[in-house]
Structure 1
């Protein structure tokens, strides 16, 4: 019988955290070591900051004699040594963790000059005010195109969910306006990651003037009252193919 008793032994899990310089061979080598040790991989997470990567593995430990645990640790240590990586181990008892609530994704984009640490602090404070729990933060853009973008995965409690969500949305939109950026909130899931098309008005939305004025000026013609009237009328009722032709 193991350290935690028969039931506890079946529920033990090994958490291995591997870190070091980023290398394309790192992850394949680690997974090969796990396969060699016949390890039952439960979960895996990897992230990279600058040239440093961190890989976290959660491995099931079901062998009462502990031989499998020894084999897994040995293979991972050999792999880490060969790749000049650091590795840490921790053994925990698996437990069912209740995760009530719903997960939403908050995407923030802002010019480099306004996306300061203080701005991120403000975002986190608004999320916390409405009982949001930040599970992950991912950098989507690092400023090479003049913008910085972050994605927050936030879990909100079920209690009074929609009112809290709306209040949080209002607070975040105010922050985005102040930072000359934009913040979007959507429910997390496969649909959120799918490619979609967004259609919205151009005049006084993306630009601070009427699109017709820009088109007239670009074409080198004077403003046409008839065309302007037609364009404005289609905004309110939608563009009909026969009207356009």
Structure 2
């Protein structure tokens, strides 16, 4: 279910000059903030939690997910080059799964890894906070990549829709509105972080078991439906 040629083309598209610049910008900002906070306030577990939870997990991870998830297939659909790919003897689920793996890998690289490094800078992994938030960022990366990959197959305005979801739903409603918190990838990922971290500093509105179930379900359904949309796209193009 993995095609190296599709993966290579997807990586090349995602890591193009303009998109790569955006991908590097947010992690660099997180690391600058971590260094500045550590120098000004010293090692403090609560501050570490606030920075990693408030900026890294709530803002940086979904935004990078938007860039990677939509960028994995959106540009090919927009310029019509996806038709040439679909004409090759490659199964549609293989195309989607390969692009999902690439998008997830890019999101983990540019979101989860910097989160781990920032956590180590801020507090040296005190209370296992660095590892906890890095793990949360990694599991969120999978769900976000699947969701935004699906958006790219559904609408040509996937980036705008993804930004609205990331900034309005996840960052605003998912953090503040009680009912919406149970339907937030951020809260599901926080449940993983809460299990790993010590000291009761990390909390989630969703229990670990339902969080894991929802993460798996959303990823699976989004991937499946994206595959269906890709089949429809091929048929429409042939007609």
* Greater RCO structure (CA 8 Å; 6+ sep): 2
Higher strand share: 1
| TM-score, normalised via structure 2 length | 0.25
Q: Which has the larger radius of gyration?
A: 1
| TM-score, normalised via structure 1 length | 0.25
